[in-house]
């Protein structure tokens, strides 16, 4: 069982500025993962990415990347699709040299297309990116199609698992448990989600976790401190099954909720070992 827990972006309590200070703070706290946050733009050069990878390797911190939000592989505008692919490939280049394992990507919006039409477009978009990755000699980093919260977004668990199968593992599921919870009207069966991932042949899970806000009778994709969905049932599944997993915290409390999740996992491990 290998469990990596860390923050999306830099921890709030980092001393000093820049990503190096953030990595060192995570290490001080005993956390061991960082999702490099390119959601609002790619801010690291290739050389800076390489230096980041060296330091992360030295500190034992596992890296992943969040791609820019402004990606839509199902757009009716061909230029939007071209730019989306370019942004993903910029993340791929940096991810490879920093030894990141996976890039979390918000793949597309359905728009006016049927879900099957959207799937065909998204698959074709990823296929062309994978072809380019092969020609670039990419060995390590993989694409991660994220499960999404809103019903107008591509990214059900079925869809991302289908991509994983159809593209021979080059596009992995990036499991956002809170998004699945919101999309299913405040319900999630962690055991079922994990069963489906393992049955698809996934040996390592990349995941996001956060609490969500409630609006009326529904949960919406507004991040809150961990509360709903509950983390404890997921922690129990992780420990029982001895999963290999990275959990990236997207809560506004970042490292505080990371430490809370780590403590819950340690408590569950101790409890099960005593049974």
- Is-contact 125 87, C-beta < 8 A? no
Measured from the Cβ of residue 90, the count of other Cβ atoms closer than 10 Å reads: 16
4 three-class SS: strand
Helix (H) or strand (E) holding 246: strand 245-249
Residue 59 pLDDT level (bands cut at 50, 70, 90): very high
The alpha carbon dihedral of 191, 5, 98, 17 has a sign of positive
**What tokens does 102 get?**
């996976």
- Is-contact 233 189, C-beta < 8 A? no
> Rounded CA gap, 267 and 264, in Å?
5
Q: What is the tally of structural domains in the chain?
A: 1
256 Cβ contact partners less than 8 Å away, ≥ 6 residues apart: none
Please report, rounded to a whole number, the percentage of residues in the chain having pLDDT higher than 70. 99
| DSSP annotation string for 116-166 | HHHHHHHHHHHHHHHHHHHHHT--S-EEEEE--SSTTBS--HHHHHHHHHH
Q: For residue 105, what pLDDT is reported?
A: 99
CATH of the domain at 146: 3.20.20.150
Residue 228 pLDDT level (bands cut at 50, 70, 90): very high
Task: Tell me the average pLDDT of the chain.
Answer: 96
Q: 64 phi and psi, to 5 degrees? A: -140, 180
> Rounded CA gap, 170 and 168, in Å?
6
Residue 17 pLDDT level (bands cut at 50, 70, 90): confident
Mean pLDDT value across residues 83-89: 98
Q: 101 phi and psi, to 5 degrees? A: -90, -35
**What is the DSSP code (8-state) at residue 106?**
-
Between the two ends of the chain, the Cα-to-Cα distance in Å is 18
pLDDT score of 271 more than 90: no
pLDDT score of 75 more than 80: yes
Helix (H) or strand (E) holding 247: strand 245-249
Mean pLDDT value across residues 200-219: 94
pLDDT score of 274 more than 70: no
pLDDT tens, position by position, 144-201: 999 999 999 999 999 999 999 999 999 999 999 999 999 999 999 999 999 999 999 9
Query: 18 or 126, which is more confident?
Result: 126
State which residues form the domain around 167. Answer: 3-274
- Is-contact 101 206, C-beta < 8 A? yes
- Is-contact 106 71, C-beta < 8 A? yes
Q: Please, which contacts does 48-55 make with residues 24 or more away whose CB atoms are closer than 8 Å? A: 48/19, 49/93, 49/94, 49/95, 49/97, 49/98, 50/97, 50/98, 51/20, 52/19, 52/20, 52/23, 52/98, 53/97, 53/98, 53/99, 53/100, 55/20, 55/23
């Amino acid at each position: 069982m290998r469990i990596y827990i860390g923050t999306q972006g830099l921890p709030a309590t980092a001393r000093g500025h820049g990503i190096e200070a953030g990595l060192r703070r995570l290490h001080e706290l005993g956390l061991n993962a960082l999702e490099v946050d390119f959601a609002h733009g790619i801010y690291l050069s290739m050389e800076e990415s390489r230096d980041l990878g060296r330091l992360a390797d030295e500190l034992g911190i596992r890296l992943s990347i969040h791609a820019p939000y402004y990606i839509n592989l199902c757009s009716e505008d061909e230029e939007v699709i071209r730019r989306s692919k370019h942004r993903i490939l910029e993340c791929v280049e940096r991810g490879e040299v920093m030894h990141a394992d996976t890039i979390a990507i918000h793949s597309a919006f359905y728009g006016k297309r049927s879900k099957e039409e959207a799937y065909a477009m998204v698959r074709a978009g990823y296929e062309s990116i994978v072809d380019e990755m092969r020609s670039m000699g990419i060995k390590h980093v993989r694409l991660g199609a994220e499960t999404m919260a809103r019903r107008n977004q591509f990214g059900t668990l079925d869809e991302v698992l289908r991509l994983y199968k159809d593209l021979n593992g080059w596009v992995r599921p990036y499991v956002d448990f809170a998004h699945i919870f919101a999309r299913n009207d405040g319900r999630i069966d962690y055991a079922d989600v994990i069963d489906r991932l393992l049955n698809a042949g996934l040996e390592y899970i990349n995941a996001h976790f956060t609490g969500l806000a409630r609006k009326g009778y529904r949960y919406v994709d507004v991040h809150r401190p961990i509360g709903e969905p509950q983390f404890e049932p997921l922690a129990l599944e992780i420990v029982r099954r001895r999963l290999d997993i990275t959990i990236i915290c997207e809560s506004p409390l970042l490292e505080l909720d990371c430490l809370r999740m780590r403590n819950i996992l340690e408590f569950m491990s101790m409890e099960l070992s005593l049974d």
